[in-house]
A and B are shown apart, each in its own frame.
Chain A
Amino acid sequence: MRGLLTLLLPLALWQAVSALGLLPPFVLPSPLRVAEVLVAERALLAGHFLVTFGEVTAGLAIGVTLGAATAIVMCLSPPALRLLGPLLVTSQALPVFVLAPILTIWLGYGPAPKIAMTVLLVFFPVASGLLDGLRGTPAEVLDLARIARAGRLRELHWLRLPHALPHLGAGLRIAVTYAPTGAVIGEWVGASKGLGYLMLMANARMRVELMFAALVLIVLMTLLLNRGTHHLLRRWSM
């Protein structure tokens, strides 16, 4: 109920601003006009939505897998930690968006650079979240592994991973929120499909209401991923 209110309040404000004529419709189309476009252009929008959603899910799957695997390797192998630790931190000083044009040159105009962009955004929160959790397992808990003379893999399985799951969950929550941004920016740089491409095309033709319709769908996709992840993680108490 409160969720509905937080959605309706900005919409009402938006409608009021357009109805009062404070901004011309080619700057801010009314929500009703955007809704009309959403219905009228549903086939077009759905096609582009599915393209972007496909890039986002592929990027999430690859990014989460790579991020989790990196954290586990770094936890199991001290040399890997010494080597990759500083790299992981300094890689965050690089604004990954500036890589988008380069990724397009390297990977072409298909879905690959968009997926790569998403992977880059997803990788860090997952890897650093999981690694923090794995390495933050209390020393007195790890004493049990010493007492049992357990190997690193069993220590990881029974003590470190269970302790790290909530940290991984926090990383995943951030990752799913970033992921659509990565795909859309990839599409802005060079694409022939997807919601980001549709936004640029609509912009060039001064179809502001279509831009807004695409924007609404990107917001919806992010909310969908966010809520879905939240429910899934809560079921696993993460």
Chain B
Amino acid sequence: MTGAACAIAGDVQLEGKRLLGGLDLTFGVGWTCLLGPSGSGKSTLLRLIAGLESAARLDGHRRAPERIGWMAQADLLQPRLSLIDNVLLMPRLRGEPARRERAEALLASVGLAGRGDMRPDTLSGGQRQRVALARVLAEDAPVILLDEPFGALDPATRLAMQSLAHDRLAGRIVVMVTHDPAEALRLGNRVLLVGNGTIGEVPPLPPPHPRAPGDAELALAAAALLARLSA
């Protein structure tokens, strides 16, 4: 995974106004969490890094590898495809040969062994997001961009998915958007606060990540960060 670079620099303009200014961010291996309230521009920033269409425009430049992994709050599973075919969707979209055995192994690695022929509508929300994670893993991309991927899950499932994703995506450059301070601090070895037109660094918790759910240091830091967000 070395040699891949992911960076963004410049200003983000939205409808003639500056949404975020003076960006100069380089993302390294590990989890960088973009934390901020709704409307702060964190999801817009992630879309710009991904090179996706957006109402906003980047005055500056971005660097991202040819292949990136993308996971959104909606699992984006295709209801008419089996789980295997969902895992293989990205190579299919590129017109590459699909490797079924690998997809089976990836489903097993997210805890869904032997379920490849099932349809997404037979799964729970947490299981669906596991399939979405397997779809990202199938890309074997050096850079993974996550847009509030666990936001729609119940708290217990969210914790399990955070741990699973952190484990499976080790060694890659991961950038995750979230509005939850506890999630950002639990997972991030770097935490960036997006708001008021700028981005600021927040001191992350020292390793290990992900922190245990009941971690006292995590609870204190999350409460302090939440107070800062609502100030």
Q: Which residues of A contact B (CB under 8 A)?
A: 139-141, 143-151, 154-155, 158-159, 162, 165, 237
Cα distance A20–B189 when bound, in Å? 89
CB distance from A167 to the nearest CB of B (A): 13
Whether A147 and B70, one on each chain, are in contact in the complex, defined by CB atoms closer than 8 angstroms, is yes
**Given the interface contacts A162-B81, A165-B80, A237-B80, does A140 sit within 8 Å of B74 by beta carbon?**
yes
Cβ of B53 < 8 Å from any Cβ of A? yes
Cα distance A202–B231 when bound, in Å? 86
77-132 of chain B: CB within 8 A of chain A:
78-81, 89-90, 92-95
Q: Which residues of B contact A (CB under 8 A)?
A: 50-53, 66, 68, 70, 72, 74, 76, 78-81, 89-90, 92-95
In addition to A139-B53, A147-B50, A150-B94, 12 A-B residue pairs with Cβ atoms within 8 Å of each other are A144-B76, A144-B90, A146-B53, A148-B90, A148-B93, A151-B95, A155-B93, A158-B78, A158-B92, A159-B93, A162-B80, A237-B80
Whether A158 and B89, one on each chain, are in contact in the complex, defined by CB atoms closer than 8 angstroms, is yes
Q: List, sorted by A's number, 14 A–B pairs whose CB atoms are closer than 8 Å.
A: A140-B74, A140-B76, A143-B76, A146-B51, A147-B50, A147-B68, A147-B90, A148-B94, A149-B94, A150-B94, A155-B93, A162-B79, A162-B80, A162-B81
**Given the interface contacts A154-B92, A158-B93, does A147 sit within 8 Å of B52 by beta carbon?**
yes
Cα distance A3–B131 when bound, in Å? 43
Residues in B with CB closer than 8 Å to A148 are 90, 93-94
Whether A162 and B51, one on each chain, are in contact in the complex, defined by CB atoms closer than 8 angstroms, is no
CB distance from B86 to the nearest CB of A (A): 10
Residues in B with CB closer than 8 Å to A149 are 66, 94
Chain A residue with minimal CB distance to B77? A141
Residues in B with CB closer than 8 Å to A147 are 50, 52, 68, 70, 90
When A and B form their complex, which 6 residue pairs have the shortest distance between CB atoms, in order from nearest? A150-B93, A148-B93, A147-B70, A162-B80, A148-B90, A154-B93
Residues in A with CB closer than 8 Å to B76 are 140-141, 143-144
Residues in A with CB closer than 8 Å to B79 are 162
Whether A143 and B80, one on each chain, are in contact in the complex, defined by CB atoms closer than 8 angstroms, is no
Please report whether the interface of chain A is mostly helix, strand, loop or mixed according to DSSP: helix
Whether A145 and B80, one on each chain, are in contact in the complex, defined by CB atoms closer than 8 angstroms, is no
Cα distance A237–B93 when bound, in Å? 23
Most chain B beta-carbon neighbours within 10 Å: one of A148, A154, A158, A165: A148
CB distance from A168 to the nearest CB of B (A): 13
Cα distance A84–B41 when bound, in Å? 38
**Given the interface contacts A154-B94, A158-B92, does A144 sit within 8 Å of B70 by beta carbon?**
yes
CB distance from B129 to the nearest CB of A (A): 14
Chain B residue with minimal CB distance to A146? B52
Residues in B with CB closer than 8 Å to A154 are 92-95
Whether B70 and A143, one on each chain, are in contact in the complex, defined by CB atoms closer than 8 angstroms, is yes
Cα distance A148–B66 when bound, in Å? 9
CB distance from A6 to the nearest CB of B (A): 32
Residues in B with CB closer than 8 Å to A146 are 50-53
Cα distance A149–B96 when bound, in Å? 12
Chain A residue with minimal CB distance to B80? A162
Residue in contact with B52 in the complex, picked from A143, A151, A155, CB distance below 8 Å:
A143
CB distance from B96 to the nearest CB of A (A): 9
Cα distance A27–B80 when bound, in Å? 53
Cα distance A165–B79 when bound, in Å? 12
Cα distance A116–B95 when bound, in Å? 39
CB distance from A130 to the nearest CB of B (A): 16
Cα distance A143–B78 when bound, in Å? 13
**Given the interface contacts A154-B94, A154-B95, A159-B78, does A144 sit within 8 Å of B52 by beta carbon?**
no
CB distance from A19 to the nearest CB of B (A): 53
Whether B72 and A143, one on each chain, are in contact in the complex, defined by CB atoms closer than 8 angstroms, is yes
Cα distance A92–B81 when bound, in Å? 36
Cα distance A151–B92 when bound, in Å? 11
Residues in B with CB closer than 8 Å to A150 are 93-95
Residues in A with CB closer than 8 Å to B93 are 144-145, 148, 150, 154-155, 158-159
CB distance from B131 to the nearest CB of A (A): 13
CB distance from A111 to the nearest CB of B (A): 37
Cα distance A165–B50 when bound, in Å? 30
Chain B residue with minimal CB distance to A151? B95
Residues in B with CB closer than 8 Å to A155 are 93
